[in-house]
Amino acid sequence: MKAYFYDNLPGDQRLPHDATSASSPLSESDLSSLGVLYFHISSIAGVDALAAERGYKNRDEITVSPERMGDIYEAKVKSFFDEHLHEDEEIRYVRDGRGYFDVRDKGDRWVRIALEKDDLIILPAGIYHRFTTDEDNYIQAMRLFKEEPKWTPLNRSGELDANPFRQEYVSQFLAA
């Protein structure tokens, strides 16, 4: 895992966008202050233990690649990159490949989190974020759920700031 401020320079979203990362790497503690939890877990048994501890009852796997998704790949990757939140925690365990989760920090800047095989990330409900593969266009990830699998993105808008899950996130992690 590598975390840094996204450089906001024009270019393909799948590139690292780390022009400023040498001067501003972020730690697991920095991520934790935003409610983002990171784990490096080298076995499914480790994932199972974390799932039991946090009450995750269901899971599935997704492969995001042109080979697996065909003609819808480019549109799907672009839709994942739309800024959004979920009303549930988002938990992803990278089984293979690489990708980026971008989250907003307390100053509303993008923090890019580069993940690869055996990295697991937990994003709290209500955090604005987005996802993309890297330039290799391939990631296989396990998604964990507390109840029935659901993945409903709510795209950022002025009205969404009043969402109770967003309000809870803001009061817990972004309030001064």
The binding site consists of 84, 86, 90, 129
- Rounded to whole angstroms, the Cα distance separating 132 from 78 reads 8
Q: Could you tell me if 81 and 130 are in contact, meaning their C-beta atoms sit under 8 angstroms apart?
A: yes
Query: In the chain, how many domains are there?
Result: 1
Distance between alpha carbon 129 and the CA centroid of its chain, in Å? 6
Q: Could you tell me if 53 and 120 are in contact, meaning their C-beta atoms sit under 8 angstroms apart?
A: no
Q: pLDDT in tens for each of the 176 residues of the chain?
A: 999 999 999 999 999 999 876 667 899 999 999 999 999 999 999 999 999 999 999 999 999 999 999 999 999 999 999 999 999 999 999 999 999 999 999 999 999 999 999 999 999 999 999 999 999 999 999 999 988 776 789 999 999 999 999 999 999 999 86
Residue 110 lies in a domain: no
- Rounded to whole angstroms, the Cα distance separating 102 from 82 reads 11
Task: Give the CATH number of the domain where residue 76 resides.
Answer: 2.60.120.10
Residue 142 lies in a domain: yes
Residue 72 lies in a domain: yes
Residue 160 lies in a domain: yes
The binding site for Fe(2+) consists of 84, 86, 90, 129
Please give the pLDDT value at position 152: 85
Range of the domain at 152: 36-99+115-171
Please give the pLDDT value at position 165: 96
Residue 1 lies in a domain: no
- Rounded to whole angstroms, the Cα distance separating 4 from 23 reads 9
Residue 81 lies in a domain: yes
The binding site for Ni(2+) consists of 84, 86, 90, 129
Residue 10 lies in a domain: no
Residue 130 lies in a domain: yes
Please give the pLDDT value at position 21: 63
